[in-house]
């Protein structure tokens, strides 16, 4: 263990690996926990059943590691989570759920019935990773550190969800409310939260409280949703030879102008007010160096803490694209005009919940039981959807130590990883309630 700790430190310092995950909740404010929730959770943690569950979690460390490796090595590219979903459904069935099914969009859902059946609490990890089909997801080990794309984000989150279910069964704990254990699809990238959007649509059973496992540190929880819009902007024209067809309107040139105009306008806008960001993440088009492109495209990501700013930076993008289109059509010397298509490919709502919401208070109270100071922050996770609808929701950390999320050399080290499972279990039970015999 000591050797691995030194190895991880060297990796972080010498190679410049980040110590937290890229999509983590940004550093937030220290949460203020009401005394009644501290007392409620304090009583809960002292019960014999919960202590049994905690001991079971520690005893399952090797099993959880083996399951983490096995799940990580099942590819789950965007929109191709089915194979991993089959394996995860089997895992939840074996863990003791009353029923397990896969809904029409691919979410794996396990129901553990509550004794009173009053309300429904969901515990979620997402099945998908950002990596495309064909990515080598073989887990490599250096000491106790595991390296593989998706090893932490969010495969370890899935392991926590299953481990909590096993702990409830092992300690024979009955909850008052029904609990749903979920492996959701479409959290990453162009998945656009499609799994959780379906879960909170009229086509799914009502969910009263939502807990996602998709952060890094145990003490930080997301209680605020970071909204985002994503667009694919495509300029189109006839295309032709760079010499013989010179004078045609050029989609590549128009795209460059659009990026320039947007960058200047968005830079000025985002320097004041609520935090807002913009990014041209991908561009493409053209067939050769001596060809006028017939198509040129970019993918743009914009985020803001508040919907008003997101809508304003959105309008700046569209105005910049239109300005570039008009300008380059005016410059053409022959042929048809350029056209442009602006397609929205992502829409994540923002929102905030008051710190006084019982679920948030219980999550913070659970964290304090482990000698940690709870911090609330803003993130872009599955919790965005329930938060935007005013439904109690938090995203909690998967614990351990890790880094390089969304990179091929992502790593995770089980440094007291059991604590994240215990905090998650404690939060869940405080919200779902323990049924009296």
Give residue 137's pLDDT band: very low, low, confident or very high (50, 70, 90): very high
CA 127 to CA 3: how far, in whole Å? 32
The token pair that represents 344 in the structure block? 């929205």
φ, ψ at 416 (rounded to 5°): 55, 40
Strands 339-348 and 291-292 turn out to be unpaired
Question: pLDDT per residue over 355-412, tens digit each?
Answer: 999 999 999 999 999 999 999 999 999 999 999 999 999 999 999 999 999 999 999 9
Say what the alpha-carbon torsion angle 360, 363, 364, 367 is, to the nearest 10 degrees: -170
Q: Using the predicted structure, report yes or no on whether residue 426 has a pLDDT greater than 90.
A: yes
pLDDT tens, residue by residue, 315-325:
999 999 999 99
Helices 418-432 and 358-368, packing angle to 10 deg:
140
Interatomic CA distance for residues 335 and 373, integer angstroms = 65
Q: Is the peptide bond before 380 cis (omega within 30 degrees of 0)?
A: no
pLDDT digits (tens, 9 = 90+) for 358-367: 999 999 999 9
Tokens of residue 176, six digits: 């008052």
State the chain's mean pLDDT as an integer.
93
Question: Which pLDDT score is estimated for 26?
Answer: 59
Length of the chain counted residue by residue: 437
Greatest Cα pair distance, the chain, in angstroms, is: 85
Rounded distance between C-alpha atoms, residue 9 and residue 12, angstroms: 5
Contact yes or no for 194/117 (Cβ under 8 A): no
SS3 state at 41:
helix
State both tokens at 286. 């053209």
pLDDT in tens, 38-62: 999 999 999 999 999 999 999 999 9
Residues 21 and 395 sit within 8 Å (Cβ to Cβ): no
E strand intervals along 148-204: 178-184
Structure confidence by residue, pLDDT tens digits, 144-157: 999 999 999 999 99
Question: Got the DSSP string for 283-297?
Answer: EEE-S-TTEE-SEEE
Tell me the per-residue pLDDT of 238-267, one tens digit each, with 9 for 90 and over: 999 999 999 999 999 999 999 999 999 999
In this prediction, residue 205 carries a pLDDT of 87
List, as one string, the DSSP characters of 199-229: HTSTTS---SEEEEEEESSTTEEEEEE-EEE
Model confidence at 172, pLDDT cuts 50, 70, 90, reads very high
Structure tokens at 128: 């998908």
Mean pLDDT of 9-28: 43
């Amino acid at each position: 263990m000591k050797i691995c700790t030194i190895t991880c430190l060297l990796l972080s310092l010498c190679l410049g690996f980040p110590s937290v995950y890229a999509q983590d909740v940004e550093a937030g404010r220290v949460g203020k926990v009401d005394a009644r929730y501290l007392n409620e959770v304090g009583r809960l943690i002292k019960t014999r059943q919960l202590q049994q569950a905690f001991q079971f979690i520690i005893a399952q460390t090797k099993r959880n590691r083996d399951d983490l490796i096995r799940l990580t090595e099942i590819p789950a590219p965007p929109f191709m989570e089915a194979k991993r979903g089959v394996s995860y459904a089997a895992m939840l069935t074996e863990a003791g759920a009353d029923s397990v099914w896969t809904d029409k969009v691919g979410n794996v859902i396990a129901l553990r019935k509550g004794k009173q059946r009053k309300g429904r609490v969901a515990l979620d990890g997402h099945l998908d990773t950002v990596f495309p089909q064909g990515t080598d997801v073989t887990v490599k080990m250096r000491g106790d550190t595991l390296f593989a794309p998706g090893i932490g984000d969010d495969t370890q989150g899935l392991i926590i969800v299953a481990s909590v279910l096993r702990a409830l069964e092992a300690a024979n704990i009955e909850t008052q409310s029904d609990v749903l254990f979920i492996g959701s699809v479409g959290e990453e990238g162009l998945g656009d939260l499609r799994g959780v959007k379906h879960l909170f649509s009229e086509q799914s059973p009502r969910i009263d409280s939502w807990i996602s496992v998709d952060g890094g540190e145990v003490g930080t929880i997301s209680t605020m949703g970071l909204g985002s819009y994503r667009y694919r902007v495509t300029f189109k024209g006839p295309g032709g030879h760079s010499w013989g067809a010179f004078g045609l309107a050029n989609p590549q040139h128009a795209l460059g102008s659009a990026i320039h105009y947007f960058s200047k306008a968005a830079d000025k806008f985002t320097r004041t007010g609520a935090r807002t960001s913009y990014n041209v993440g991908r561009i493409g088009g053209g067939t050769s160096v001596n060809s006028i492109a017939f198509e040129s495209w970019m993918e743009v990501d914009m985020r803001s803490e508040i919907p008003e700013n997101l809508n304003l930076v959105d309008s700046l993008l569209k105005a910049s694209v239109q300005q570039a289109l008009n300008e380059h059509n005016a410059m053409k010397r022959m042929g048809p005009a350029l056209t442009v298509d602006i397609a929205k490919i992502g829409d994540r709502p923002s929102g905030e919940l008051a710190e006084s919401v019982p679920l948030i208070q219980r999550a913070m109270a659970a964290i304090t039981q482990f000698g940690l100071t709870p911090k609330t922050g803003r993130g872009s996770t599955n919790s965005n959807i329930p938060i935007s609808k005013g439904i109690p929701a938090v995203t909690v950390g998967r614990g351990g130590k890790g880094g390089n999320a969304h990179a091929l050399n992502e790593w995770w080290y089980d440094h007291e990883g059991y604590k994240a499972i215990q905090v998650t279990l404690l939060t869940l039970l405080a919200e779902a309630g323990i049924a009296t015999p």
